Amino acid sequence: MVTVKDISDYIDSFAPYSTQCEWDNCGILVGDEGKTVNKVGFVLDLTAESLKDAEDKNVDLIITHHPVIFKAQKSFLKGNSAFDAAVKGISVLSAHTCFDCAEGGVNDVLCDCLGIKSFEGVPSEECAVPMARIGELLLPSASELAKLVAEKLGTVCRVTDSGKEIKKVAVCGGAGGDFLKDAVNMGADAYVTGDMSHHEFLLAEELGLTVIAAGHFETENPAVSELKNKVCSRFTEIDGVILKQTNPVKYIG
């Protein structure tokens, strides 16, 4: 018999909740930690679509990357994903920044997707454990890097081009603007992340750093399958399924 707590403890062993950023909310967020689990659903975000899919597939536990309960809230009503999951008797566990920085986590998977070699963590004052990664990837230009990222992640890229040949590339899935200067300090020629604000693009240009913003969903979603593989390899008696989630961002024009 495998319980919600058993699975949570296992995730805590390779992506310790203690390594999450201070503003984050990882661990068991909805449900009964003693509940028996036969089927687990994996998804980046708990949405109405993914929760319906979980219900249709008789999932006992949903494991998300982004926390289903994130910021403090003053109500907990029908239509809220956490409330609706609780009503349906489905537990929810979230592994966010702890999985971003874990070995084999979001940013290691992103490096593997892009073919970045000999990568290591990028130290930062923003987090106790390095979250971003940096490694070797030889390309002649920013445009070639953008083409590679677009192809591998199935996305459209926004680019600031430093004009430099690419030899070392840093990555951080999701919103990685906080690590721009850290990437430069580690000798990065380019930085691939999900979200980047206008002012962060201006800073990158000032720092002489090529930046590729490839989409929050696109840079993190590949790691969902890796999380499924880890959990299902450890608990062979449970079934694991990837739940449906449509990217909320559409590219038009």
- Segment 212-226, tens digit of pLDDT: 999 999 999 999 999
Strand partners, 92: 30, 62
Tell the burial category of 187 from Cβ atoms under 10 Å away from its Cβ (0-12, 13-18, 19+).
exposed
Phi then psi for 81, rounded to 5 degrees? -60, -40
In the numeric block, the tokens 């459209």 are attached to: 156
| Domain annotation covers residue 37 | yes
User: What gap in Å lies between CA 96 and CA 16, rounded to an integer?
Assistant: 10
Q: Confidence class of residue 200 from pLDDT cuts 50, 70 and 90? A: very high
Whether the per-residue pLDDT at 135 is higher than 90: the answer is: yes
Residue 173, domain CATH: 3.40.1390.30
- The yes-or-no verdict on residue 127 having pLDDT over 90 is no
**99 to each of 19, 44, 65, 87, how far by Cα in Å?**
9, 12, 8, 27
pLDDT category, 102, cuts 50, 70, 90?
very high
Confidence of residue 253 (pLDDT cuts 50, 70, 90): confident
Please report the pLDDT score of residue 197 as a whole number: 97
pLDDT over 90 at 137, yes or no? yes
List pLDDT tens digits, range 13-50.
Answer: 999 999 999 999 999 999 999 999 999 999 999 999 99
Give the residue among 150, 253, 252, 168 at the shortest CA–CA distance from 210.
Answer: 168
Look-up of token digits 């930062």: 124
125, 165: one domain:
yes
* Residue 240 domain flag: no
Same domain, 92 and 125: no
DSSP state of 3: B
Residues in the chain, overall count:
253
Is residue 13 within 8 A of residue 70, CB to CB? The reply is: no
**Could you tell me if 11 and 87 lie in one domain?**
yes
74-90: per-residue pLDDT in tens?
888 999 999 999 999 99
Determine the pLDDT at residue 126. Answer: 84
Asked if 42 and 240 count as a contact pair (C-beta separation under 8 A), the reply is: yes
* Average pLDDT of the segment spanning 225-236: 98
Confidence check: pLDDT of 72 > 90: no
Question: Which residue from 175, 154, 158, 168 is spatially nearest to 222, judged by alpha carbons?
Answer: 154
Same-domain pairing of 33 and 51 = yes
CA of residue 154 relative to chain centroid, distance? 16
With bands split at pLDDT 50, 70 and 90, how would you rate the model's confidence at 121?
very high
Nearest Cα to Cα of residue 123 among 58, 63, 72, 188: 188
Give the domain range for residue 46.
Answer: 4-100
Contacts of 170 (CB under 8 A, 6+ apart): 122, 132, 133, 134, 179, 182, 183, 186, 188, 190, 191, 192
Q: Is the pLDDT score of 237 beyond 90?
A: yes
Helix (H, G, I), strand (E, B) or coil at 219: helix
212 in the same domain as 117:
yes
User: How many percent of the chain have pLDDT more than 90?
Assistant: 94
Residues 164-184 have pLDDT tens digits of 999 999 999 999 999 999 999
Average pLDDT on 94-99 reads 98
Average pLDDT across the chain, whole number? 96
Instruction: Let me know whether 139 and 87 are in one domain.
Output: no
pLDDT of residue 163: 96
Taking residues 109-120, what's their average pLDDT?
98
